[in-house]
Amino acid sequence: MEKISFATYLQEKIDLDEKTIKKLYQKLTSEKHLKNEVLLKPGEVCSHAFFVEKGLLRLFSIDEKGKEHILQFAPEGWFIVDRSSMYFKETSQYYIDAIEDTSMVYINDQFLDFAGQKSPEFRKYNERLLHNHIRHLQNRINSLIAASAREKYQDFIALYPDLTLRVPQWMIASFLGITPESLSRVRRNLAKENFRPR
């Protein structure tokens, strides 16, 4: 995937002028992390949201049996954060790590306050992002409760169209809440249905 700079993202999504973007950027930090680097661990307070410019992050937990449960992937142009930890200063229950070498922008709540004061457009857009996040969570909960493995996988492809080629199958299964074997069956069945002999 191509790099998506946060400045370009702001221009496209909020239509901010270059002068405002420069002011906002003075409050930001950009960093690069290598594949498998951990950005957040349970017991730490998540002090930043991360905007992915290039690469791929994930948010996940590990249960007492050592099994991973992936809550979110964040490819280019996505934000990822433990909201309860960042906004309520609670210690996190989650990990955030890099699945690929990743370039990102760190966004703290001071930046969000500053940006909201400088730009009403940014404040409105940030509110829309929050509501969109809640909408996705509601859909995800409903999918985990009620959808078949096939429906879950089709929803995953719609949400993350390029990730089937970027993450191992077991991670997709973890995100969907199904076994890798169930996912393999779903993929085989879909491949057969889409196969058209000449």
Cα separation, 7 vs 12, in Å, equals 9
Handedness of CA 149, 154, 158, 161 (dihedral sign): positive
Q: Report which DSSP code applies to 163.
A: G
3-state secondary structure of 98: strand
Confidence of residue 110 (pLDDT cuts 50, 70, 90): confident
Terminal CA-CA length for the chain:
33
Q: In CATH, which superfamily holds the domain spanning 6-118?
A: Jelly Rolls (2.60.120.10)
Domain boundaries, the chain: 6-118
Question: How many C-beta atoms lie closer than 10 Å to residue 198's C-beta?
Answer: 2
Residue labelled with tokens 């057969």: 192
> Tens digit of pLDDT for each residue in 125-152?
889 998 998 998 999 999 999 999 999 9
44-102: per-residue pLDDT in tens?
A: 999 999 999 999 999 999 999 999 999 999 999 999 999 999 999 999 999 999 999 99
